[in-house]
Amino acid sequence: MKFERYGAGIAKGMVVTLKHLFRHPVTTQYPEERLTVSRRTRGNELIWDRERCTGCATCAKSCPQGAIRIVTSRGEENDYIVEEFRVDSGYCIFCGLCVESCPYEALFMGYGYERARYRRRELVLNKEELLTSEKKQPSGYARPKVEAALPPQTLLLDRDGVKK
Amino acid sequence: MVIKTEPFVVNIGPAHPSTHGVFRMRATLDGEVVLDIEPVFGYLHRGIEKLAEERTYTQIIPLTDRLDYLASMSNNLAYVLAVEKLAGIAVPERAEYLRVIMAELQRIASHLIGVGAFLNDCGAFMTPILYMIREREKILDLFEMVCGQRLTYNYMRIGGVSHDIPEEFLPALKKFVDSMPGFIDEYDQLLKENEILLARSKGVGILSREQAINISASGPVLRASGVKWDIRKVDPYSIYDRFGFEVPTGSAGDCYDRYRVRVEEMRQSVRILKQAVEKLPAGEVRSEVSHLVRPPAGEAYGHIEAPRGELGFYLVSDNSIAPYRFHVRAPSLLNLTALREMVVGWKVADVLAIFGSIDICMGEADR
């Protein structure tokens, strides 16, 4: 092992380190300071629109994990009545194929990212838990109308060149 | 007095911070010097090739995300190229450009982690990699903007890409492309002439040109040994023949060359990105393809130059909705077979540096 030039290269590197002392930090203090996620976030928990859903089960067929279970019965006007719509989000890989394949735009990805649970059984969502609520916002993934209404994503790129 | 010594077998891994996942090396040591090394694979085996045979062609795309999780876009691209070859599906012009943009962004992101992790293994613990993670974060922001996730993108589709880019994407990408060369210069100033790095990596773990070709290494490992072989040039896929870029090569085939080749490749990727942003046409991003693709019976092999080397997907179809056989030619696995050639005769600390310089991803090697 040779040591050449008395560490001139190390000193050169140190200049970079020194410069960074006067730079705005790129990190954020997470629970206090929050970044806005992408408008197309494939976030936690699917959201189901009870009125639009016809019970065609295209989402269940397109799911690679088999996480969606739909049970329907025949209604009076020869339509489907959705008896059961159950999503096991423990199996969900958030690929978004169900949302993309839905022909009636009745399924949305979630916009949230803080929906951890203590029990595995709480991950299984039934019809009522899948509806949208104050805590559960739909994301704009494959839904351009929802996307346009959401706030723009914060980018680290915008922090370039910001002085301390 | 003569001390009787005998070789000593040490397990490095499977759960070792320097093995980049779960990989085990059974090293036979004479004191500090490595006499022999035996890689043990399979700790991250998930049976993805078999799982894929039970899924439809579209449902496999999220599975390919989970192969090389540091370069999911490249995996997506290689897979959809294979399916399009098999089924004879055309891709719109704009989608081709978007694919190239995503693949090159992914190459930069992957090389940033590759270089950073290599320096981690060399002993520059966490300082250089954090500079690189900062730039990778910007790329992940762009990916998140386009497809909604930061690691498992699931963006490419058979016959195009899943969505068009949002309007704020191109300005952000231009900003990134303009600023990235400056950051690469910064890494060079920080590391290129650093004496400790030179002492740790120059002349260490030499893989000769012949050895590299014989073990069918690919990617930066092969190019660092002086072979000018890049699938983007020798078998242009997608629209890579329309872009001007160089193929950086090394000469010695040591750890330092592998590190340099990665850094130079990042510059070339920025060059491709610049051209792609300028030429990006308007139009459709996805041709009319059903979610249930049913390719005619036959076989196809689609390969790309992934960040780690030649990534290929071999598909056999029996005219059903799922492939009859699905095989991945993973560059990490084949590059790892060069490990023994490189490390024998070096010390234990060098083993980890050499291992880091191959830049493997165990998700892909074991799959």
Cα gap B198→B252, rounded to integer Å: 13
Query: Domain holding A47: CATH number?
Result: 3.30.70.3270
Q: In this structure, are A14 and A63 located in the same domain?
A: no
Contacts of B195 in chain A (CB under 8 A): 3-5, 7-10
In a domain, A10, yes or no: yes
In a domain, A99, yes or no: yes
Positions of chain B with pLDDT under 50: none
Write down the pTM of the prediction: 0.89
pLDDT at position A3, please? 58
Strands B8-12 and B24-30 turn out to be antiparallel
Q: In this structure, are A24 and A71 located in the same domain?
A: no
In a domain, A156, yes or no: no
- Alpha-carbon torsion (A121, A124, B149, B264), positive or negative: positive
pLDDT at position A162, please? 60
Q: In this structure, are A7 and A75 located in the same domain?
A: no
Cβ within 8 Å, pair B137-A13: no
Q: In this structure, are A15 and A62 located in the same domain?
A: no
Nearest CA in chain B to A156: B138
Contacts of A41 in chain B (CB under 8 A): 144, 148-149
- Alpha-carbon torsion (B14, B17, B20, B25), positive or negative: negative
Helix H or strand E segment including A110:
strand A107-110
Contacts of B159 in chain A (CB under 8 A): none
Rounded to 10 deg, the angle between the B255-279 and B348-358 helix axes is 20
Q: CB neighbours of A155 closer than 8 A, spacing ≥ 6?
A: B138, B141, B145, B172
Nearest CA in chain A to B53: A64
Alpha carbon B367 to chain centroid, angstroms:
14
pLDDT at position B108, please? 92
Alpha carbon A157 to chain centroid, angstroms:
21
In a domain, A100, yes or no: yes
Nearest CA in chain A to B168: A152
Cβ within 8 Å, pair A97-B154: yes
Contacts of B293 in chain A (CB under 8 A): none
Nearest CA in chain A to B175: A157
Nearest CA in chain A to B193: A9
In a domain, A26, yes or no: yes
Cβ within 8 Å, pair B141-A156: yes
Domain count for chain A: 2
Task: Give ∠ CA B295-B301-B303 in degrees, rounded to 5.
Answer: 125
Give me the residues paired with residue A82 across strands: A72
pLDDT averages per 10-residue partition of chain A, 164 residues? 68 84 83 87 85 85 88 83 86 88 88 86 85 82 85 81 57
Nearest to A41 by CA among B79, B272, B201, B150: B150
Q: In this structure, are A133 and A74 located in the same domain?
A: yes
Alpha carbon B21 to chain centroid, angstroms:
15
Contacts of B124 in chain A (CB under 8 A): none
Phi, psi of B250 (to 5 degrees): -100, -175
Q: State the best of A37, A42, A65 to mutate against chain B, taking most chain B CBs within 10 Å.
A: A42
Q: In this structure, are A61 and A84 located in the same domain?
A: yes
Domain hosting residue A17, numbered range: 2-32
Rounded to 10 deg, the angle between the B93-122 and B255-279 helix axes is 160
In a domain, A38, yes or no: no
Q: In this structure, are A79 and A27 located in the same domain?
A: no
In a domain, A157, yes or no: no
Contacts of B145 in chain A (CB under 8 A): 38-40, 153, 155
Calculate how close chain B gets to A157, using CA atoms only, in Å: 6
Tokens of B306: 């992934």
pLDDT at position B201, please? 84
pLDDT at position A112, please? 84
pLDDT at position A164, please? 52
Helix H or strand E segment including B311:
strand B309-317
